[in-house]
Structure 1
Amino acid sequence: MSPEQRLIRLITLKLIPFLILLYLVAYIDRSAVGFAKLHMGADVGIGDAAYGLGAGLFFIGYFIFEVPSNLLLDRFGARRWFARILITWGAITMGMAFIQGPTSFYVMRFLLGAAEAGFFPGVLYFITQWYPVRHRGKIIGFFILSQPIAMMITGPLAGALLGMDGLSGLHGWQWLFLMIGAPAVLLAWPTLRFLPDNLHKVKWLSAEEKTWLAGELEKDKQEYAQTRHGNPLHALKDKRVLLLALFYLPVTLSIYGLGLWLPTILKQFGGSDLTTGFLSAIPYVFGIVGLLIVPRSSDRLNDRYGHLAVLYALAACSMFLSAWLSAPALQLMALSLVAFCLFSTTALFWTLPGRFFTGASAAAAIALINSVGNLGGYIGPFGIGALKEYTGNLASGLYFLTAVLCFGLLLTWVVYQRLERRHAQQQVSMGNA
Structure 2
Amino acid sequence: MNPEARIIRTLTLRLIPFLILLYLVAFIDRSAVGFAKLHMNADIGISDMAYGFGAGLFFIGYFIFEVPSNLLLERYGARRWFARILITWGAITVGMALVQGAYSFYAMRFLLGAAEAGFFPGVLYYITRWYPVRHRGKVLGFFILSQPIALMITGPLAGALLGMNGIAGLAGWQWLFIVIGVPAILLAWPTLRILPDTPKDARWLSEPDRQWLLAELDRDRKEYGQTEHTNPLRALTDRRVLLLALLYLPSTLSTYGLGLWLPTLVHQFGGSDLTTGFISAVPYIFGVIGLLIVPRSSDRMNDRYGHLTVLYILGSAGLFLSAWLGAPLLQLMALCLTAFSLFSVTAIFWVLPGRILTGASAAAGIALINSFGNLGGYIGPFGIGALKEYTGTLSSGLYFLSAVMISGVLLTWIVYNQLERKSAAARPTALEQAS
The verdict on a shared fold, with TM-score over 0.5 as the criterion, is yes
Q: What is the Cα deviation at residue 46 of structure 1?
A: 1.2
Distance 2:348 2:100 in 1: 41
Q: What is the Cα deviation at residue 423 of structure 1?
A: 4.3
Correspondence for 1:112: 112
Report Cα offsets for 1:214-239 as digits up to 9, x if no partner: 00000000000001100000000001
Distance 2:212 2:256 in 1: 40
Map of 1:29-48 to 2, 5 A cutoff? 29-48=29-48
Report Cα offsets for 1:240-262 as digits up to 9, x if no partner: 11110000000000000000000
Q: Structure 1: where are the runs of 5+ without partners?
A: 428-433
Amino acid at match of 1:238: D
Distance 2:220 2:229 in 1: 16
Q: What is the Cα deviation at residue 280 of structure 1?
A: 0.4
Q: What is the Cα deviation at residue 381 of structure 1?
A: 0.1
Distance 2:237 2:61 in 1: 21
Normalising by structure 2, we get a TM-score of 0.97
Amino acid at match of 2:124: L
1:329 aligns to 2:333 (yes or no)? no
Map of 1:27-426 to 2, 5 A cutoff? 27-423=27-423
Contact 1:28 1:180 in 2 (8 A): yes
Report Cα offsets for 1:12-42 as digits up to 9, x if no partner: 0000000000000000000000000000000
Contact 1:236 1:365 in 2 (8 A): yes
> Equivalent residue of 1:179, what SS?
helix
Q: Structure 2: where are the runs of 5+ without partners?
A: 428-435
Provide runs of 4+ in structure 1 moved above 4 Å. 422-427
Q: What is the Cα deviation at residue 424 of structure 1?
A: 5.4
Q: What is the Cα deviation at residue 425 of structure 1?
A: 8.6
Which stretch shows the higher mean deviation, 197-206 or 134-143?
197-206
Amino acid at match of 1:77: G
Which stretch shows the higher mean deviation, 99-108 or 203-212?
203-212
Distance 1:425 1:282 in 2: 41
Which stretch shows the higher mean deviation, 415-424 or 21-30?
415-424
Q: What is the Cα deviation at residue 379 of structure 1?
A: 0.0
Q: What is the Cα deviation at residue 391 of structure 1?
A: 0.4
Normalising by structure 1, we get a TM-score of 0.98
Distance 1:172 1:60 in 2: 27
> Equivalent residue of 1:14, what SS?
helix
Correspondence for 1:431: none
Amino acid at match of 1:112: L
**Percentage of pairs with the same residue:** 76
Contact 1:225 1:426 in 2 (8 A): no
Q: What is the Cα deviation at residue 421 of structure 1?
A: 2.3
Correspondence for 1:5: 5
Distance 2:199 2:332 in 1: 44
Contact 1:224 1:423 in 2 (8 A): no
Report Cα offsets for 1:282-302 as digits up to 9, x if no partner: 000000000000000111111
Report Cα offsets for 1:263-296 as digits up to 9, x if no partner: 0000000000000000000000000000000000
Q: What is the Cα deviation at residue 202 of structure 1?
A: 1.2
Amino acid at match of 2:196: P
Report Cα offsets for 1:171-215 as digits up to 9, x if no partner: 000000000000000000000111111110111101111111000
> Equivalent residue of 1:225, what SS?
coil
